[in-house]
Structure 1
Amino acid sequence: MRNSLRHPLFHDARNSPAAEAAPRLRLPAALLILTLSAVLVRVAWVQSQLPDDYLQALAVTTTEEELLTARNGQILADTTVLARDEDQWALQIHYRWLEQQPESTWLKQQLRQRLSREERRDA
């Protein structure tokens, strides 16, 4: 029994727990080492023999174009609008240029910006 007390003088090596565990540990360890060595050999072979082929395969790019029909400027999926064309008009202009009679303070400011310091003193 494994839980019983043993004296080293009466110890039997064939019935010891270490003797029973040795094959159970060696077999999985050997399988693990064989599997890892096979993987490492394959990686080394790929790294040394096939890098040009792999790099050529990675360098190739493909472009696919697919036209989606859009009725009324909308792309629908199960009556859900995925995309819609919307006209957006945006025009940015300084509104002072559109006034019929420019504001006097703004007009003076524009004139002062164009004058040099000496010309501003004379005015």
Structure 2
Amino acid sequence: MTKLAQFALGCAIGVAFAACAVVAVYFRPFWHSAWGMPTFLLIFWIVMTLTVGWGGRGRPHSFRFGLIVSTAITSCFVAAVFINKYVGIGLICLLAYVAVKFLENSNGEPDPDPGDKQS
């Protein structure tokens, strides 16, 4: 990516954050209404799907992976907001544990069978 494209991308991200701040202040009664939290969670889910699904420079996009991960994270936040904060915290801890185990096993080698006795 050229320096001009990086500069344009940085400016676009800055404008997007400024627009979000203006919308948050201007539409404050909406965000405090009954529709505010579900709308925020939907926007959060869409943004997480797009950002996690982006593979990075030179790697393929994986929309399915982004959808799975963002759905899990958003489900934890839904549980924290609508059920109980302790249930949400527990689900977030469980999700972090599963993510660590996934990253440990994703080194490209198959897991050895625990039933095999290697000597």
Instruction: State if a TM-score over 0.5 links the two structures.
Output: no
The structure showing larger relative contact order (alpha-carbon pairs under 8 Å, at least 6 residues apart) is 2
Which is helix-richer, 1 or 2?
2
Q: Normalized against structure 1, the TM-score is what? A: 0.22
Which is strand-richer, 1 or 2?
1
Q: Normalized against structure 2, the TM-score is what? A: 0.23
Tell me which structure has the larger Cα radius of gyration: 1
